[in-house]
Every structure is written in C-alpha cells, then in structure tokens.
Amino acid sequence: MTLSVRLFARGRELAGADAVAVALPAGATVADLRRALAERYPALAGLLAVSAIAVDHDFAEDARVILPADELAVIPPVSGG
C-alpha cells in the first residue's frame, strides 16, 4: 500500500515537501513507517527518532497497525517558551 504522510515544521523543511509518499506492506506498523521514511528520506532520520506519529489525528504507538485509509502525519517536537 502506498501512503501519504504529512510533514510539519522542520520535517517539511528537511524533506522539501509538505507530504511524502511511502510504500508499506499490509500489516505494517508505525515503527515500520518510521524505518521506511528514514530509508527513503535520510535527512528525516534524526527528526523521526524524536517525533510523534499521528494516525487519524491521534498520537500513535509504534506497535499500531496502519490501515490503507489512515491519515498519517509526522509531528516534530515543539520548542518555545
């Protein structure tokens, strides 16, 4: 399945796009998504390690299975004061 993953803030800057496509097999998890994104977009690897992954607008654990219709996003940490 090919999935679209939305990127925000630093992730968007590193990838040069506000969304990227990644192919994953059926039954793939959020952890699999992280690995696939890091392999396809090496500039994102460090950011992915500290970012949350949202699935259908909710933060997801790495063990969550991704479905073809899920909306996915990488949510980088927020800094500020």
- pLDDT value of position 81: 52
- What is the pTM for the complete model shown? 0.91
Written as one letter, the residue type at 32 is D
- Quick count: other Cβ atoms within 10 Å of Cβ 34? 18
Contact between residue 33 and residue 24 where contact means Cβ atoms under 8 Å apart:
yes
Tell me: pLDDT of 80 over 60: no
Q: How far apart are CA 21 and CA 61, in angstroms?
A: 20
The residue extents of the domains of the chain are: 2-75
Higher pLDDT, 77 or 54: 54
Three-point CA angle 42, 31, 76, nearest 5°: 60
Place 78 in a pLDDT band, splitting at 50, 70 and 90: confident
Positive/negative CA dihedral, 6, 72, 44, 60: positive
Check residue 8 and give its pLDDT: 94
Per-residue pLDDT tens over the stretch 16-69: 999 999 999 999 999 999 999 999 999 999 999 999 999 999 999 999 999 999
Whether pLDDT at 79 is above 90: no
Task: Quote the CATH superfamily of domain 2-75.
Answer: Beta-grasp domain (3.10.20.30)
What 3-state class would DSSP assign to 3? strand
